Amino acid sequence: MSYTNILSEVTEGVATVTVNRPDKMNALNAATVGELDACFAELGADSSVRVVILTGSGEKAFVAGADISEMADMSAAEAERLAARGQALMNRIENLGKPVIAAVNGFALGGGCELAMACTFRYASDNAKLGLPETGLGLIPGFGGTQRLSRLVGRGRALEMVLLGNMITAVDAMAIGLVNTVFPQAEFADAVMIVARALAEKSTFTLRMALQAVNDGLLVDQDSGCRLEAALFGVVGASEDAHEGCAAFMEKRKPAFQDR
């Protein structure tokens, strides 16, 4: 499928999705949200895709927010529909069943920060800045930011970022758990690809079960989450890939996973 506002390519099981609106700092307008949703639906259904890298074009911005020109003079119903569309995209990414790496190269603000938070990992270049500046516009985050941020960094830090609306550096984002790792800008693309390729070598079935255990476990209490984990461990433990992985370990060789 061809797109106007994003680029998508797959190489050796690693898909790279790039928000490509450099003249708008890769801001998320309605069309871009729709294209991202369609693209991730396609990638989720493509068995050849094992890992996805999500980034923005250029070095200045990952995604510098939503397109404010589309948000002026909204009615309550229009604003709620906009939030619902954005949240649907974030939910699709978070529950894709495959690892999605946010490669945060530059500004990740508002909807861009929310987009990164929906991903499995967040890696940042050392020039990145993240934030939820919506209150400065008389708005609040609407694409899941108030919910995911508090789960990632805790209630106090989340409230500070949401209410003040300040940007933070990549290093500060890593310190509070919003970003996994910060890389020098010159090494950034290669470093992210190394992680993606390491994930691509693993069993997609196993990774899908692990993602489900973590994501669904966060929705329930710990005892219920542990019961879910045990059930999924049972499914995985009886799989061909678990048998192959254990055999390969004992035989001191690299496993040949079949993704089942």
| CATH (domain of 232) | 1.10.12
Q: Domain end: 158, 174, 200, which one?
A: 200
Q: Mark whether 234 and 131 lie in a shared domain.
A: no
Q: Mark whether 51 and 104 lie in a shared domain.
A: yes
Q: Is residue 37 part of a domain?
A: yes
Catalytic residue among 35, 70, 114, 201: 114
Domain extent, residue 152, equals 6-200
Residue 190: burial class (beta carbons within 10 Å; 0-12, 13-18, 19+): exposed
Task: Map residue 101 onto helix, strand or coil.
Answer: strand
Q: Mark whether 127 and 48 lie in a shared domain.
A: yes
Phi/psi of residue 79, each to 5°?
-65, -40
> Tens digit of pLDDT for each residue in 41-51?
999 999 999 99
Q: Is residue 257 part of a domain?
A: no
Q: Mark whether 165 and 189 lie in a shared domain.
A: yes
Q: Is residue 258 part of a domain?
A: no
Q: Mark whether 22 and 69 lie in a shared domain.
A: yes
Q: Mark whether 39 and 101 lie in a shared domain.
A: yes
Identify the residue whose tokens are 């954005």: 86
Q: What pLDDT is recorded for position 249?
A: 94
Active-site residue flag, 134: yes
Q: Mark whether 177 and 214 lie in a shared domain.
A: no
Q: What pLDDT is recorded for position 70?
A: 82
Q: Is residue 160 part of a domain?
A: yes
Please state the domain count of the chain. 2
Q: Mark whether 32 and 129 lie in a shared domain.
A: yes
Active-site residue flag, 114: yes
User: What are the C-alpha distances in Å from 195 to residues 2, 9, 51, 124?
Assistant: 27, 17, 10, 13
Q: Mark whether 44 and 109 lie in a shared domain.
A: yes
> Is the torsion defined by CA of 16, 17, 22, 26 positive or negative?
negative
Task: Map residue 69 onto helix, strand or coil.
Answer: helix
Catalytic residue among 9, 42, 80, 134: 134
Over the Cα atoms of the chain, what is R_g?
19
pLDDT tens string, the chain, 260 residues long: the values are 789 999 999 999 999 999 999 999 999 999 999 999 999 999 999 999 999 999 999 989 999 988 788 887 889 999 999 999 999 999 999 999 999 999 999 999 999 999 999 999 999 999 999 999 999 999 999 999 999 999 999 999 999 999 999 999 999 999 999 999 999 999 999 999 999 999 999 999 999 999 999 999 999 999 999 999 999 999 999 999 999 999 999 999 999 999 99
CA 115, CA 56: separation in Å to the nearest integer?
Answer: 11
Q: Mark whether 23 and 135 lie in a shared domain.
A: yes
Q: Is residue 260 part of a domain?
A: no
> Is the torsion defined by CA of 18, 20, 22, 26 positive or negative?
negative
Q: Are 54 and 91 in contact (CB under 8 A)?
A: no
